[in-house]
Structure 1
């Protein structure tokens, strides 16, 4: 029993550390993606589809040069993705002394070709090494202040880099490249099938382990320039909360008061990219999970199959216009959401959710009785 608790605690620590790293990383990604979106949408008005090309820095048109610079600013922000996520994973485990080893390990992970997966591993290694050193290295009182600012960052960085460079860097790189090669070899039906599987996984447990596995894999491949899994995941994330939120607006009488309120929040959470807005509906009627999976898988497969490309891990509306073939992307979200909205009719019935009507009837009868008396 003690071992079980220990394993559960370690698993929770790992999850919290990774989520901390991802949460600190997201502002950089959002800033970068939005700036690049502005640049590319602006450049498209001039018929330019490769505003990132260095030749545009010499354009005679001032606006084109500005758009080129904006795209560069966005790229600079996105380039911080790996060191930031690794650094703050280490920070979550070992506090401030873990920050430098984690960030440096994240940069090394990028240069070794291990991608996002390598950055996650580098952050965990750095964090636990620094934590171990902090517990085991005992300094004289006169030198105690040197530990957090000298010994722990230097020792942690050196050991992290040695492990990444000489022990796990090559295996992680080979794994990453093998996965890349397999996915790049996919085309046509296989690509659509992959998108459907990722979309279904994302819609299954709404932020749970299956969802996280799909999203983490998509983000790992994103850092390597493979965008289809990320496109599928980001489309699928927002379909259930939007679809169920719309259902409570269109067929209000089918839902109890509690879910009507949850529907308002669900729609908003969907628009900003939070799938957990649909959880109250799954708890109220777990059968809706089947519809969530179907809607998410359909929307994801449609987006990828018709050529939409999302190059940033952003599912909220503020990133939609930065997507290539953004109109198809939005239509795919709408189709997947509509499937869930209509599918909710199968599981949320008027007879099962008639609380509001009953309350109104009681009030009416009470007023009638008072007047009669």
Structure 2
């Protein structure tokens, strides 16, 4: 904790910002591991290692490295990146919105999403709110798009969901409204590549439009609860609807209809009653 706190303060002082603090956290952790691995003390001082020696030496190493080596380039990079993002033209905004939308959506809250989140959160710390709004939107298009695909499937008489998946939608949709994508995973894992394609296309279109129209959430998460903080809430809502419709259409087109055999097998599983099981003596 002590080395991490120190590099965070140094990042703020030298202008490295959130990104400097994020990278500095890794530096602090590595410094602590080096001290643990290579610093040996007499037995009588072993008790001081976790309370004094490790925090002191790790803070000293990480702090000096951050201040004299790493901090300057990160601060310069942050200034350049902030200035660059503020000068994007129309086509560039749409392109970057598409890229963020795809990367933030295709692994459904996994490692790629979290990496993108760290990047866009660093931009928000510098006053650029549009990229993180794209991430919020991209995390919502999957559950909303899949739910919409169910109703569109009814209109065109194409049944793409099993009864169990329909029950999953009843949970996934409200979770999606508050930016929790994971409720859709039971459906995604049943047909992974079609799900990824539909999600990626919808996230790209919705993200590109959100960035282009300047949707700007002032908070980094929470789905529809972030809308009141935006200066252009209509841009977010319209982009979200369009992205969800695109996801629904692509998924509906790619997905194979549920066969009668699959429905029958699932019905037989549902009919299994544990009360009918008997244990003989």
TM-score norm. by structure 1 comes to: 0.63
From the superposition, tell whether residues 192 and 155 of structure 1 become closer, same or farther in structure 2 (CA, over 3 Å).
same
1:269 pairs with 2:269: no
Q: Residues of 2 paired with 1:218 and 1:345: CA distance?
A: 31
**Runs (5+) with no aligned partner, structure 1:** 1-98, 364-373
Tell me how far 1:309 sits from its aligned partner: 0.6
* Partner residue of 2:118 out of 216, 230, 252: 216
Q: Residues of 2 paired with 1:150 and 1:360: CA distance?
A: 63
Residues 255 and 353 in structure 1, CA contact (< 8 A), matched pair in contact too: no
1:45-64 correspondence to structure 2 within 5 Å: none
SS across alignment from 2:214: coil
Name the structure 2 match of 1:154: 56
Residues 137 and 223 in structure 2, CA contact (< 8 A), matched pair in contact too: no
Name the structure 1 match of 2:206: 299
1:316 pairs with 2:223: yes
Deviation per CA, 1:12-58: give whole Å up to 9, x if none: xxxxxxxxxxxxxxxxxxxxxxxxxxxxxxxxxxxxxxxxxxxxxxx
Q: Residues of 2 paired with 1:136 and 1:313: CA distance?
A: 40
Name the structure 2 match of 1:200: 102
**Runs (5+) with no aligned partner, structure 2:** 271-281
Deviation per CA, 1:62-96: give whole Å up to 9, x if none: xxxxxxxxxxxxxxxxxxxxxxxxxxxxxxxxxxx
Name the structure 1 match of 2:244: 337
Q: Residues of 2 paired with 1:351 and 1:168: CA distance?
A: 55
Name the structure 1 match of 2:8: 106
Equivalenced residues, count: 264
From the superposition, tell whether residues 329 and 174 of structure 1 become closer, same or farther in structure 2 (CA, over 3 Å).
same
From the superposition, tell whether residues 104 and 353 of structure 1 become closer, same or farther in structure 2 (CA, over 3 Å).
farther
TM-score norm. by structure 2 comes to: 0.82
1:325 pairs with 2:232: yes
Q: Residues of 2 paired with 1:292 and 1:125: CA distance?
A: 35
Deviation per CA, 1:304-358: give whole Å up to 9, x if none: 2223211332143333322222233223222212222233221234344763367
From the superposition, tell whether residues 112 and 275 of structure 1 become closer, same or farther in structure 2 (CA, over 3 Å).
farther
Q: Residues of 2 paired with 1:228 and 1:264: CA distance?
A: 30
Name the structure 2 match of 1:282: 188
Tell me how far 1:193 sits from its aligned partner: 2.0
Q: Residues of 1 paired with 2:115 and 2:223: CA distance?
A: 20
1:338-357 correspondence to structure 2 within 5 Å: 338-352=245-259, 355-356=262-263
Name the structure 2 match of 1:139: 41
Residues 310 and 322 in structure 1, CA contact (< 8 A), matched pair in contact too: yes
Higher relative contact order (CA 8 A, sep 6+): 2
The CA RMSD over aligned residues, in Å, is 2.7
